[in-house]
Amino acid sequence: MTKIVQFMFKRKVWPILLIVAFAGTFWAFRSNGANGNATTQEKILTSLTQIIKENHYDPKPINDAFSKDVFKKYIDAIDPDRNIFLLSDVKELRKFETYIDDEMNGAQLKFVPLVNSIYAKRIVEAAEIYKQILTKPFDFSVDETIVLNSDKLDFGTNEAQRKDIWRKKLKYLTLDRYNDLLTQRDKSKEKKDSAGPSNNKSDKELEVEAREKVVKMMDKSFDRLKYKFNDDERFNLFVNTITNYFDPHSDYFPPIEKRAFDEQMSGKFYGIGASLREEESNIKVATLITGSPAWKSGEVKVGDVVMKVAQGMDEPVDVSGYAVTDAVTLIRGNKGTEVRLTLKKEDGTLKVVSLVRDEIVLDESYVRSAIIKGKEKIGYIFLQDFYADFEKPNGARCAQDVARELIKLKAENVDGVILDLRGNGGGYLVEAINLVGLFIPEGPVVQVKEKVGKPTVMSDNNKAVLYTGPLAVIINETSASATEIFAAAIQDYGRGVILGSSSSYGKGTVQRQIPFGKPIDMFTGRTEFGSIKLTLQKYYRINGGSTQLKGVTPDIVMPDEYEFMKFKEKDNLNSLPWDEIAQSSYKKWETPYDLKTVQASSEKRIAENRAFSLIKTNAEWLGKQNDRVYSLKLSKYQDEQKKLRETLKQNDELAKLATIMMVTPLAADKMKYDTAASSNKDKAERYNAWLKFVSGDIYIGEATNVIGDMITSTNIKVAANK
């Protein structure tokens, strides 16, 4: 512990600066808004508009053209399947398509209220439509098709067309379940399982069962629309449509959603310590965390149905029809506050349980490590987020946690280290800088540019290097933001070899939370109106290039199944553009291996590996599936689904090594996981499943080969210089 504290001490100034900047921003905007006669929603909209105008890195002109684009995107967002509104509704709403900019600048809010009134009427009609359609059987021998891409859908010009849009959607949903039931029946017959759930049912009976499943699903979906997607939620969607138009990462967070964002970033939350699951349209208690408020109460049991949730003595909220995530949002809250649950016990009785929220730590979202034993002994570290808990002096920090793992790995004399950042969407910028500092001596890590002025170079100021050995970093298309800062710096310094898909996500922008409205909780900065996560800066590599749109191109490209999916930054038309600035002054790492030799060896292996070749072929095919037309004829649908299932199953198999690696916990962690196995079986099972995944992953396998190539190349280089 002492080594880590000493090593990280010089970097502790960053959280302090971040908190000071955050507090200044909060007070600067807490009193802004519309006049005293404005509604709450009007105050939120005008306040956000002012914040965006004054602070966004590259604000767009707020004019009639802007309004038209926001109008279209909002209609797309609120009715993506084009089955709620009629074309006449959209035409009626269109009288406000050039009025949105006026609302943002203080005019009376008229557009969303009109949307709400029409939506409330149409959603009732839609509920009757789906119920009526699902009373009659579908004919799956008819050769017709459905388009699922919302960009290619049109609104019905009359009630008949809207009903037909619904008919096709419901037929598709029923067809999907009908096909599953047919498959289950066939498998039961093959196994001669007379007790199989569908073994003795006819095609007609299975079609009825499939429709019944869709009815339940639609009932639940519409219950959620009724109870959750209310006027406030539609307004929040409207505001987020506006913020996302400036760029994809500027978001509005109402107070509760702002809290959820904080929880994700810190890896902890304040709740009751009970996980929930969905079962037969009910929300049930799935597990209890030992020592948590729910566990201590002795009144909350696994299997209890959560009927209502109340904040202290407030009116309880009926969570019937809620998604689990929505119910969880209501149950969590500030530390020390009361939440009252109305629970339906297994004997059918109702019980109101009062619980006081306490801190629950999501330790499984933190860093993990293991040892891969083969020709070389390699340390493997998995980092899911660049998390940090700034609310506590000794709160969790991902860079400190990785430092601990590196110290343990060094104690085991590993020959190299793999840092896996696949799926890591980023987090705190300061943690990315600190993490780079574990592998390099002092020097610049990233350049940050405001909307005006010269770029600021953010550096690691600690001359010490915690780990100097071979380093391989794995990334993929979902590795973004802080992950890209880290990978880019490691690549620019030549400190390690970057492996992964053809490029990372491509997010080169920096956001900051700006709360506004009256304070609710001064400790956390929560306010009555929530906050906006706003893009205030762009960051650049120390070589001057931006990771915006282009991402980080690995030294070694490994094909994966997401390669041709369109979800990267460059696929969003509202993304900020790529550009470059002057290079920062930095000294490259004296690389003991020859990168070109390492690249050539890996590229040869990948080219000769049938699995990688097929993954690439399959990725191209899967990338084209979102835009195709789907058949509603059973025989054609089955052919399409068979091909899709075979491809996905093949990808799963291809991503597994033919010969698994030996992967074990670190010696320092063995007692911890032995204890976990005896006290928390579920947690132990999850950890063992993770070890099994690591042992058979083809991408980790290639990373171990690259570490071996780095060591071999280093030895050859040393021998040549003697």
Burial class (CB in 10 A: 0-12, 13-18, 19+), 25: buried
Catalytic one of 250, 297, 481, 602: 481
- Give the H/E segment covering residue 696: helix 681-696
Contact 429, 482 (CB under 8 A): yes
Contact 535, 597 (CB under 8 A): no
Asked if 555 is an active-site residue, the reply is: no
CB atoms within 10 A of CB 495: 20
Assign residue 280 a region (left: φ > 0; alpha: ψ between -120 and 50; beta: otherwise). Answer: left
CA–CA distance, 415 with 345 (Å, rounded to integer): 55
CA–CA distance, 343 with 341 (Å, rounded to integer): 6
Pairing of strands 471-475, 456-460: unpaired
φ, ψ (nearest 5 deg) of residue 586: -150, 155
Asked if 12 is an active-site residue, the reply is: no
CA–CA distance, 551 with 460 (Å, rounded to integer): 22
Asked if 492 is an active-site residue, the reply is: yes
Catalytic one of 169, 308, 507, 568: 507
Task: State the alpha helices, DSSP H only, in 134-230.
Answer: 159-190, 203-227
Q: Which residues make Cβ contacts (< 8 Å) with residue 643, sequence separation at least 6?
A: none
> What is the token pair recorded at 291?
């020592």
Burial class (CB in 10 A: 0-12, 13-18, 19+), 102: middle
Catalytic one of 492, 560, 697, 709: 492
Position 20, amino acid: V
Helix axes 159-190, 203-227, angle to 10 degrees: 130
- Give the H/E segment covering residue 379: strand 377-382
The gap between the terminal CA atoms of the chain, to the nearest Å, is: 40
- Catalytic positions: 481, 492, 507
